[in-house]
Structure 1
């Protein structure tokens, strides 16, 4: 299990390659990379978190995913700081013996990260900045796993 929360950019292709090479016993690897969208004139996003608390919360999510879906490996990378449109924000990688478990685990982690990971996001655009609140559809998506 690998959880990283850092301001530095990462290379999704390199992450996928190294993860897959180390996922012994996997029959399937699923990856998801989230990037900063440029919706509505958005120019950048600022992401804040509490060091230590964030990593503990994400590790708990990955432990639950590993147990629930029988993962042989899992990696979550999440950036913080100022990110420009088009930059990767985060990445989830899940490896399991079979494809359905890998897909479900990645989906499960995305829903939990989106709704429960302790990150605070501010969208920056032509009218200044605005904090992003919880969305009803994210909470609804999380409900299917509870």
Structure 2
């Protein structure tokens, strides 16, 4: 589990995770990118509370490992100023079977989207606005 300002290499992270996932029959990976839905986004600024954020993500990753009997799980989430199209986060799960790996990855992604202690601000030429929580994200988390 990593919370970092620096970019990450998705390919290298996925390869290292897969290589270390001995006994797994399935590895699922996902990376989220900064979206520019309006075509006006200059940057996404992501803030967090060091220590609190890492503990919260580590706890939910441990829950996923236990709940779906994972071989391993990886979460990387960035903070700071990110441009459109930049990787913002990565989730990887390894399990004996694909169903558990997919379910755990979706669970982790839903948690990161709705409950992880990050605060996001969209910056455009017109100024900056905090990103509000979305009902759809809360509903997705509710299925777990």
TM range (shorter): over 0.9
**Residue 128 of structure 1: CA displacement?**
1.0
**Residue 101 of structure 1: CA displacement?**
0.3
The number of equivalent residue pairs is 143
Please name the residue that 2:45 is paired with. Answer: 46
Please name the residue that 2:15 is paired with. Answer: 17
> What do the CA deviations read for 1:40-70 (whole angstroms, capped 9, x no partner)?
1112100000000000000110011001101
CA RMSD in angstroms comes to 0.6
Which 4+ stretches in 1 moved above 3 angstroms? none
Rounded to whole Å, the distance in 2 between the matches of 1:12 and 1:129 is 29
Q: 5 Å matches for 1:4-83?
A: 4-40=2-38, 41-83=40-82
**Residue 109 of structure 1: CA displacement?**
0.3
Please name the residue that 2:125 is paired with. Answer: 126
Rounded to whole Å, the distance in 2 between the matches of 1:39 and 1:66 is 33
> What do the CA deviations read for 1:109-133 (whole angstroms, capped 9, x no partner)?
0011111100000001121110001
Please name the residue that 1:141 is paired with. Answer: 140
Please name the residue that 1:105 is paired with. Answer: 104
Between 47-56 and 123-132, the greater mean CA deviation after superposition: 123-132
What's the TM-score, normalizing by structure 1?
A: 0.96
Secondary structure, aligned partner of 2:120: strand
Rounded to whole Å, the distance in 1 between the matches of 2:59 and 2:41 is 32
Gaps of 5+ in 2: none
